Copies of this chain bind each other. A is one copy, B any other.
Amino acid sequence: MTILQFTPFSSAVDAAFWQTLAEKKLNEFQLSDQSRSLLGYYTPGHALLDTQGQSVAVAPRLCLPSQAFEKTSTIPANAFQVTGTITNTNTIQDFQKLDRQALFQEAASKLWNCIESGEAIKHPGLLCQFFVLTFADLKKYKFYYWFCFPAPIPQPSQWQLDKPMTPITSEMNSDQIQSLAKEYAKLRSSQGPDSAYFLIKKHTSGNIRVGSLDTWDDFFNRSDEPIVGFADPSGLASPGWPLRPLLALAHHSWGLNTLKVVCYRDPIETSQILVTSLPTDSLYQPKDSKQKDTLPKSVGWERNAQAKLGPRVADLGPLMDPLRLADTSVDLNLKLMRWRVVPDLDLEKIKHTKCLLLGAGTLGCHVARCLLGWGVRHITFVDNGRVSFSNPVRQPLYTFEDCLEGGAPKAEQAAKALKAIQPSIVSKGYSFTIPMPGHPLPAQQLRQDSQALLDLIESHDVVYLLTDSRESRWLPTMLAAKLNKIVINSALGFDTYLVMRHGGRNQAQDQDQEKIGTNLGCYFCNDIVAPTDSLTDRTLDQQCTVTRPGLAAIAGALAVELMVSLTQHKDGVNAPAGKNDVPCLLGIVPHQIRGFLGQFSNMLIVGQAYDRCTACSTKVIEHYDADPLGFLSNVVEDPLYLEQITGLCQMKAESDALLLDDDWTGLEDDF
């Protein structure tokens, strides 16, 4: 006697499914590793004939399509849906240490319960199930997985082959085969997945009848020879795996020890017939000592490429577009913050905040790098300088290369550098000089440059003031105030730094002047002199950084973190500071941070807006609105003009003391 063999499924996972898993992991499952249900499918097998007319092995495939996670997935017309579950672990160690035995028992008993309860007779689709264990290494796009197709087997003996598998044509003439096909087509259209198993009998007329399992009792007359059919995924010399649970059901529910089986294949002419019987000594449920039914023994773990019992691995890294890989990995790092620490962190808002960096020197480079780290996608530089030999060691977007032949234009080069770090970034550099009080220039030039600056500020959400002089911060401060944009301002001394945000312009109107911190000032609000030409007279040392190299990294990072916190604050640009502030989920959003490296300390300061400010006060902005170019040409010709219109003139005397405090004049590394 020969033992009946079954051809096991081999899992066939669509690459698109792994992609879907990766996305769900990032956006949906996150750190959860609970099981989720899947919909796979298989198609009836058929013998393939090779060029010599020999039939070649086609292993039965259990396929997972990209939509396997959805309730209903579109599958090939002739395919049969198979339900399963996926358990995706967080680490390779978790994957290795999974209690596979327990998971297997759970699945096996679930299947057996369907048989015992009779559920499987109503819904035969339940007889064929699977589960898969996975670990997705999203950094390398490697996917480790192990499929299992649990099926109960009898003990101690197995089903035997009374009549070897022969083509269906050996027992049915072509009319019968045609009517079988016709009948079964009907059943399929009515029963769907559950038509994977069905009953067959030859009518006295010779015609073929087909019925669903739950009609067993009425379907066969005593005279009939009961035949059971199943959609056989195998194209080989032995029937496919789905027959195993069917035999268990036939034995358990119908008490059969002998069964004629039609292995329905596609096309129907390739279908096979066999007769199998189970020795009477054999049982699915050996009685245990306490006379209690125990679970049948089950089998079903898939073997891997090495034909060993072990997981398989799908390495999609090589197939992936590296650019996409980079984006996914960066996303992942950021999302982890949300998953782990700050569930409500609005990463999208940060990602889409358009940042304008005025100055691509020491501070500009550090700010840009930190913005990259936060996943900001849109970074624009303005700088009129070229990369010089002293820059690269302090300005982390430039290299020695960039200094040759007179030096690359900083703004453009900085943008290039960002793309080299993160190719999907949107970055552009503009080389022009920001018009400055006390720096006269031709009307045409003034029109052009001030317009360029206005357009840039309008098209961005945040303006960073990172230039190397006080007066170059005036025009952007004024324009940003006019447009009520967020302004982040940083300046360096030798071992001191300033990082501040400018107050929103709508505050004065809609908030109580008395409340400290609700009406915040700008960089110029605590000046009592107009910004004026501070460049031409700078001595050698003032023309370049005389700052401790660590300062720019610290100030640049704080500037970005302050902005990020602000994006998460309900009041945004109008967020109050100090005692009136309500911290956002990332913490407080101070107005000014002044750091002292000599003491390794810093202090938080709140400065009020000043109604005579030469940059952000309504007076000034009104004059600008009245006649932008006329106003600006007055200012660049003579900064004192600002003091006249703001009424600062008479205070001029007091100014000197303040000017001396050049720790805050925002020297930049541009010697």
Binding site for B on A (CB under 8 A): 31, 90-91, 93-94, 139-140, 317, 322-323, 325-326, 328-330, 332-333, 336-337, 339-341, 366, 369-370, 372-375, 388-390, 392-394, 396, 398-401, 403-404, 406, 420-423, 494-495, 536-541, 543-546, 548-551, 553-554, 556-558, 560-562, 564, 583, 586-588, 590, 593, 597-602, 604, 669, 671
Contact = CB atoms under 8 A, between A and B. Distances in A.
Given A404-B322, A546-B336, A587-B495, A399 B421 contact: yes
A550 B546 contact: no
Contacts of A554: 553-554, 557-558
Q: Which 10 A-B pairs have the closest CB atoms?
A: A373-B549, A587-B598, A550-B557, A329-B390, A329-B389, A553-B557, A550-B561, A90-B540, A326-B389, A372-B393
A561 B599 contact: no
A388 B587 contact: no
A329 B390 CA distance: 5
Contacts of A340: 494, 541, 546
B556 A389 contact: no
B139 A388 contact: yes
B557 A389 contact: no
B326 A562 contact: no
A399 B420 contact: yes
A373 B394 contact: yes
How many copies of this chain sit in the oligomeric assembly?
2
Given A31-B541, A540-B31, A604-B601, A389 B546 contact: no
Contacts of A553: 366, 369-370, 553-554, 556-557
Interface centre among A93, A340, A541, A598 (most CB of B within 10 A): A541
A403 B322 contact: yes
A556 B366 CA distance: 13
Contacts of A564: 548, 550
Nearest to A325: B389
B423 A400 contact: yes
Contacts of A423: 400
Nearest to A328: B389
A330 B389 contact: yes
B540 A91 contact: yes
A427 to B, nearest CB: 13
B600 A562 contact: yes
A475 to B, nearest CB: 23
Nearest to A340: B541
Contacts of A557: 549-551, 553-554
Nearest to A586: B598
Contact of A140 (B317, B326, B388): B388
Contact of A422 (B373, B400, B548): B400
Nearest to A559: B550
Interface centre among A139, A536, A671 (most CB of B within 10 A): A139
30 contacts: A94-B539, A139-B544, A322-B400, A325-B389, A325-B403, A326-B400, A329-B390, A330-B389, A330-B390, A333-B390, A333-B545, A339-B541, A340-B546, A341-B494, A369-B553, A370-B549, A372-B549, A373-B549, A373-B550, A399-B420, A401-B420, A550-B558, A550-B560, A553-B557, A554-B557, A561-B597, A586-B597, A587-B597, A588-B598, A602-B602
Contact of A93 (B332, B494, B536): B536
Nearest to A588: B599
Given A400-B421, A495-B587, A537-B93, A544 B333 contact: yes
A671 B330 CA distance: 10
